[in-house]
A and B are shown apart, each in its own frame.
Chain A
Amino acid sequence: NAGVTQTPKFQVLKTGQSMTLQCAQDMNHEYMSWYRQDPGMGLRLIHYSVGAGITDQGEVPNGYNVSRSTTEDFPLRLLSAAPSQTSVYFCASSRGGSPLHFGNGTRLTVT
Protein backbone atom coordinates (compact mmCIF):
# COMPACT_ATOMS: atom_id res chain seq x y z
CA ASN A 1 0.00 0.00 0.00
CA ALA A 2 1.24 3.48 -0.84
CA GLY A 3 -0.82 5.08 1.96
CA VAL A 4 -1.51 8.79 1.40
CA THR A 5 0.21 10.31 -1.63
CA GLN A 6 0.50 14.05 -2.15
CA THR A 7 1.73 15.83 -5.25
CA PRO A 8 3.60 18.02 -5.90
CA LYS A 9 6.14 18.14 -3.06
CA PHE A 10 7.13 21.72 -3.80
CA GLN A 11 5.41 24.52 -5.71
CA VAL A 12 6.06 28.20 -6.30
CA LEU A 13 3.18 30.38 -7.51
CA LYS A 14 2.78 34.02 -8.34
CA THR A 15 -0.03 35.99 -6.71
CA GLY A 16 -3.29 35.38 -8.57
CA GLN A 17 -2.31 32.06 -10.14
CA SER A 18 -4.40 28.96 -9.55
CA MET A 19 -3.36 25.41 -8.86
CA THR A 20 -4.57 22.09 -7.52
CA LEU A 21 -2.84 20.08 -4.82
CA GLN A 22 -3.46 16.39 -5.33
CA CYS A 23 -4.13 13.84 -2.61
CA ALA A 24 -4.83 10.14 -3.09
CA GLN A 25 -5.16 7.24 -0.65
CA ASP A 26 -5.39 3.52 -1.31
CA MET A 27 -6.68 2.38 2.09
CA ASN A 28 -10.39 2.77 1.33
CA HIS A 29 -10.69 5.40 4.05
CA GLU A 30 -13.97 7.30 4.09
CA TYR A 31 -12.53 10.33 5.91
CA MET A 32 -10.07 12.67 4.17
CA SER A 33 -8.91 16.13 5.15
CA TRP A 34 -6.57 18.98 4.31
CA TYR A 35 -4.47 20.92 6.84
CA ARG A 36 -2.04 23.76 6.61
CA GLN A 37 0.91 24.02 8.97
CA ASP A 38 2.43 27.39 9.75
CA PRO A 39 5.16 28.28 12.29
CA GLY A 40 3.59 29.16 15.61
CA MET A 41 0.08 28.28 14.39
CA GLY A 42 0.20 24.49 14.43
CA LEU A 43 -1.95 22.41 12.11
CA ARG A 44 -5.22 23.99 11.04
CA LEU A 45 -8.04 22.18 9.27
CA ILE A 46 -9.00 23.63 5.88
CA HIS A 47 -11.64 21.24 4.51
CA TYR A 48 -12.66 17.68 5.17
CA SER A 49 -14.82 14.94 3.70
CA VAL A 50 -16.56 11.99 5.36
CA GLY A 51 -17.26 10.22 2.07
CA ALA A 52 -17.57 10.59 -1.68
CA GLY A 53 -19.81 13.52 -2.58
CA ILE A 54 -19.65 15.03 0.94
CA THR A 55 -17.37 17.91 1.93
CA ASP A 56 -17.37 20.42 4.76
CA GLN A 57 -15.40 23.44 5.90
CA GLY A 58 -12.82 23.39 8.62
CA GLU A 59 -11.26 26.21 10.59
CA VAL A 60 -9.61 28.12 7.69
CA PRO A 61 -11.55 27.39 4.45
CA ASN A 62 -11.39 30.81 2.76
CA GLY A 63 -9.49 30.80 -0.54
CA TYR A 64 -9.69 27.03 -0.95
CA ASN A 65 -12.10 24.68 -2.72
CA VAL A 66 -12.40 20.90 -2.52
CA SER A 67 -14.42 18.13 -4.12
CA ARG A 68 -14.70 14.39 -3.44
CA SER A 69 -15.89 12.55 -6.52
CA THR A 70 -14.23 9.25 -5.53
CA THR A 71 -13.27 7.59 -2.25
CA GLU A 72 -9.58 7.67 -3.22
CA ASP A 73 -9.03 11.30 -4.27
CA PHE A 74 -9.45 14.61 -2.47
CA PRO A 75 -7.90 17.52 -4.42
CA LEU A 76 -7.46 20.99 -2.92
CA ARG A 77 -7.84 23.94 -5.27
CA LEU A 78 -6.44 27.43 -4.84
CA LEU A 79 -8.39 29.64 -7.25
CA SER A 80 -6.33 32.83 -6.86
CA ALA A 81 -3.20 32.35 -4.78
CA ALA A 82 -2.23 34.96 -2.19
CA PRO A 83 1.04 35.33 -0.22
CA SER A 84 -0.94 34.45 2.94
CA GLN A 85 -1.38 30.95 1.49
CA THR A 86 2.36 30.29 1.68
CA SER A 87 2.47 27.23 3.93
CA VAL A 88 3.02 23.51 4.14
CA TYR A 89 -0.12 21.58 3.22
CA PHE A 90 -0.89 18.10 4.53
CA CYS A 91 -3.54 15.66 3.43
CA ALA A 92 -4.74 13.00 5.87
CA SER A 93 -7.17 10.11 5.85
CA SER A 94 -8.69 7.63 8.27
CA ARG A 95 -11.43 5.13 8.85
CA GLY A 96 -13.73 6.07 11.74
CA GLY A 97 -11.95 5.58 15.08
CA SER A 98 -8.65 4.54 13.51
CA PRO A 99 -5.36 6.49 13.45
CA LEU A 100 -5.06 9.43 11.08
CA HIS A 101 -2.63 8.77 8.20
CA PHE A 102 -0.74 11.71 6.72
CA GLY A 103 0.94 12.37 3.40
CA ASN A 104 4.43 13.88 3.28
CA GLY A 105 3.17 17.37 2.53
CA THR A 106 3.34 20.01 -0.18
CA ARG A 107 5.49 23.09 0.47
CA LEU A 108 3.83 26.03 -1.29
CA THR A 109 5.36 29.47 -1.74
CA VAL A 110 3.31 32.33 -3.18
CA THR A 111 5.31 35.36 -4.29
Chain B
Amino acid sequence: KQEVTQIPAALSVPEGENLVLNCSFTDSAIYNLQWFRQDPGKGLTSLLLIQSSQREQTSGRLNASLDKSSGRSTLYIAASQPGDSATYLCAVENYGQNFVFGPGTRLSVLP
Protein backbone atom coordinates (compact mmCIF):
# COMPACT_ATOMS: atom_id res chain seq x y z
CA LYS B 1 0.00 0.00 0.00
CA GLN B 2 1.38 3.39 -0.99
CA GLU B 3 2.12 5.73 1.91
CA VAL B 4 3.12 9.38 1.60
CA THR B 5 4.76 11.40 4.34
CA GLN B 6 5.79 15.05 4.52
CA ILE B 7 8.45 16.75 6.63
CA PRO B 8 8.24 19.11 8.41
CA ALA B 9 4.64 19.15 9.57
CA ALA B 10 4.86 22.90 10.16
CA LEU B 11 7.38 25.60 9.35
CA SER B 12 7.64 29.26 10.27
CA VAL B 13 10.19 31.47 8.50
CA PRO B 14 10.89 35.19 8.08
CA GLU B 15 10.07 36.77 4.76
CA GLY B 16 12.79 36.44 2.12
CA GLU B 17 14.12 33.05 3.18
CA ASN B 18 14.56 30.17 0.76
CA LEU B 19 12.97 26.98 2.03
CA VAL B 20 12.58 23.30 1.22
CA LEU B 21 9.58 21.07 1.85
CA ASN B 22 10.03 17.31 1.71
CA CYS B 23 7.77 14.52 0.50
CA SER B 24 8.49 10.77 0.69
CA PHE B 25 6.59 7.82 -0.75
CA THR B 26 7.00 4.10 -0.21
CA ASP B 27 6.21 2.62 -3.65
CA SER B 28 8.30 3.98 -6.53
CA ALA B 29 5.89 2.66 -9.20
CA ILE B 30 4.16 6.00 -9.64
CA TYR B 31 2.69 7.70 -12.69
CA ASN B 32 3.39 11.24 -11.49
CA LEU B 33 3.75 13.43 -8.41
CA GLN B 34 1.93 16.68 -7.79
CA TRP B 35 2.39 19.51 -5.32
CA PHE B 36 -0.65 21.44 -4.15
CA ARG B 37 -1.35 24.52 -2.09
CA GLN B 38 -4.35 24.77 0.23
CA ASP B 39 -5.47 28.02 1.83
CA PRO B 40 -7.68 27.85 4.95
CA GLY B 41 -11.27 26.94 4.11
CA LYS B 42 -10.46 26.46 0.44
CA GLY B 43 -9.86 23.63 -2.00
CA LEU B 44 -6.48 22.53 -3.28
CA THR B 45 -4.70 24.32 -6.10
CA SER B 46 -2.19 22.43 -8.23
CA LEU B 47 1.27 24.05 -8.23
CA LEU B 48 3.50 21.63 -10.09
CA LEU B 49 3.18 18.21 -11.69
CA ILE B 50 6.23 16.03 -12.32
CA GLN B 51 5.83 13.04 -14.60
CA SER B 52 7.60 9.87 -13.47
CA SER B 53 10.12 10.25 -16.30
CA GLN B 54 11.05 13.81 -15.28
CA ARG B 55 13.51 15.00 -12.63
CA GLU B 56 12.15 18.48 -11.91
CA GLN B 57 9.63 21.17 -12.79
CA THR B 58 9.79 24.92 -12.25
CA SER B 59 7.15 27.61 -12.01
CA GLY B 60 8.24 31.08 -11.00
CA ARG B 61 9.78 30.91 -7.52
CA LEU B 62 8.83 27.24 -7.13
CA ASN B 63 10.98 24.29 -8.11
CA ALA B 64 10.02 20.68 -7.50
CA SER B 65 12.36 17.73 -7.91
CA LEU B 66 11.63 14.02 -8.08
CA ASP B 67 13.90 11.09 -7.26
CA LYS B 68 11.65 8.15 -7.99
CA SER B 69 14.16 5.47 -7.10
CA SER B 70 14.59 6.80 -3.57
CA GLY B 71 10.92 7.72 -3.17
CA ARG B 72 11.51 11.43 -2.56
CA SER B 73 10.41 14.80 -3.83
CA THR B 74 11.30 18.29 -2.66
CA LEU B 75 9.53 21.60 -3.20
CA TYR B 76 11.89 24.56 -3.13
CA ILE B 77 10.40 28.01 -2.57
CA ALA B 78 12.74 30.91 -3.29
CA ALA B 79 12.53 34.30 -1.61
CA SER B 80 9.46 33.44 0.45
CA GLN B 81 6.66 36.01 0.86
CA PRO B 82 3.81 36.31 3.40
CA GLY B 83 1.41 35.39 0.57
CA ASP B 84 3.10 31.98 0.41
CA SER B 85 1.60 31.12 3.81
CA ALA B 86 -0.61 28.06 3.29
CA THR B 87 -0.56 24.28 3.65
CA TYR B 88 1.43 22.46 0.97
CA LEU B 89 0.49 18.89 0.08
CA CYS B 90 2.15 16.40 -2.19
CA ALA B 91 0.30 13.56 -3.89
CA VAL B 92 1.46 10.58 -5.93
CA GLU B 93 -0.63 9.16 -8.72
CA ASN B 94 -0.32 5.41 -8.87
CA TYR B 95 -1.15 3.55 -12.05
CA GLY B 96 -4.92 3.27 -12.35
CA GLN B 97 -5.38 6.95 -11.44
CA ASN B 98 -5.28 6.24 -7.72
CA PHE B 99 -4.01 9.34 -5.91
CA VAL B 100 -2.47 9.17 -2.43
CA PHE B 101 -1.89 12.39 -0.50
CA GLY B 102 0.59 13.32 2.19
CA PRO B 103 -0.60 15.04 5.39
CA GLY B 104 0.80 18.42 4.35
CA THR B 105 3.28 21.00 5.62
CA ARG B 106 1.77 24.13 7.17
CA LEU B 107 3.92 27.12 6.18
CA SER B 108 3.89 30.54 7.82
CA VAL B 109 5.98 33.32 6.31
CA LEU B 110 6.35 36.20 8.73
CA PRO B 111 6.63 39.79 7.43
Using a CB–CB cutoff of 8 Å, the interface residues on chain A facing chain B are: 4, 31, 33, 35, 40-45, 48, 50, 58, 90, 92, 94, 96-105
A-contacting residues, B81-110, CB 8 Å: 89, 91, 97-104
Q: Is the CB of B97 within 8 A of A31?
A: yes
Q: Is the CB of A100 within 8 A of B103?
A: no
Question: Which secondary structure characterizes the binding site on chain B?
Answer: strand
Q: Say yes or no: is B18 at the interface (Cβ < 8 Å to chain A).
A: no
Which of B38-46, B60-68, B72-80 lies at the binding interface?
A: B38-46
- Chain B residues touching A, range: 20 to 34
Q: Is the CB of A105 within 8 A of B43?
A: yes
Using a CB–CB cutoff of 8 Å, the interface residues on chain B facing chain A are: 31-32, 34, 36, 41-46, 49, 51, 89, 91, 97-104
Give Cα A41–Cα B103 distance, bound, in whole angstroms.
Answer: 7
Minimum CB–CB distance from B83 to chain A (whole Å) comes to: 19
Closest A residue, CB atoms, query B100: A45
Q: Is the CB of B45 within 8 A of A102?
A: yes
